[in-house]
Amino acid sequence: MKDMRQMTELGRSIETSSFGIIDAEVGEHNFSPDQWQVVRRVIHSTADFEFKALTKISSDAIDQGIKALQNGCPIIADVKMIQVGLNENRLKQYGCQVYSFISDEDVIREAKAKNSTRAIESIQKAHRQGLLDGAVVAVGNAPTALLETVRLIEELNVRPALIIGVPVGFVSAVESKDEVIESSVPYIVTRGRKGGSTIAVAIIHALLFLAAERENG
C-alpha cells in the first residue's frame, strides 16, 4: 500500500518534532507501543498532557480496530464534525465509509416525536440499517449516542468491532464512558468530562496509520 500520510516534507518534519516533544515531556508510561501511538496523537491534537492519564484502552481495542478498518468496516459517527475531519483518501484505501445520521430529516422528526435526542435516533437508524455490527462507533460529542450504543449491545446483542467513546461535556459524559468500559466490546475512551470530536478523529487516524504500518512491515 502506498504511503497514507500524504504530508509535505515540512509538515512531516513538524509532526515528527511535535511527537518528539510529547515523548520527552511524558517520559515513562505503561502503554504498549501501539497504544502509545494512539495516546500520543490524542495529546498532539489537544496539546493536553492530561490525556495520558485519561485515555483508557481495552487490551483488544487496537487489534480489533485495525482489523475492522482493514476489512472496510463502516464508521458510525455521532456528529458531522467527525465525518468531515477524517481523511477521505486514507479511508478509501480500505473501502471504509463514514455515516452520520444526526442531521437527517427522519432522525430529527423521530427525536421530536419521541421527545428523544437526535443522537439516540441516529444510532437507532444505524442499527436499523444493519451498520453497527462490526463497525467502529465514534462518539465525540453526544453522550446519549454512547449510552444508546451500550443499550443495544446489552439488550439486542449488537456487536461493534470498536467503540471510541470520547464525548465532551458535563451531563452524562462521565457515566456514558463508564458504561462503555463495563461493556463487552473493545473500547478506547477518555475518562471524565474531557473529550471531543477532534479526539475521535485523532484516534481513527492513529489506527489507520497503524494499519498501514502493519501492512508495510
Active site residue ranges = 44
- Among residues 77, 65, 95, the alpha carbon closest in space to that of 162 is found at 65
H or E segment at 76?
Answer: strand 74-77
User: If you search the block for the grid coordinates 511524558, which residue do you land on?
Assistant: 26
The C-alpha cell 441516529 sits at 122
Q: What is the DSSP track for 129-191?
A: TT-STTPEEEESS-HHHHHHHHHHHHHH----SEEEE---SSSSHHHHHHHHHHSSS-EEEE-
C-alpha cell at 146: 454512547
Name 126's Cβ contacts closer than 8 Å, sequence gap at least 6: 76, 99, 101, 132, 135
Using alpha carbons, list the distances in angstroms from residue 115 to 151, 158, 214: 18, 24, 46
Specify the DSSP element, H or E, that contains 55. strand 55-57
Q: How many CA atoms lie within 13 A of 193 on its CB side?
A: 3
Q: List the Cα angle 146/151/155 in 5-degree steps.
A: 160
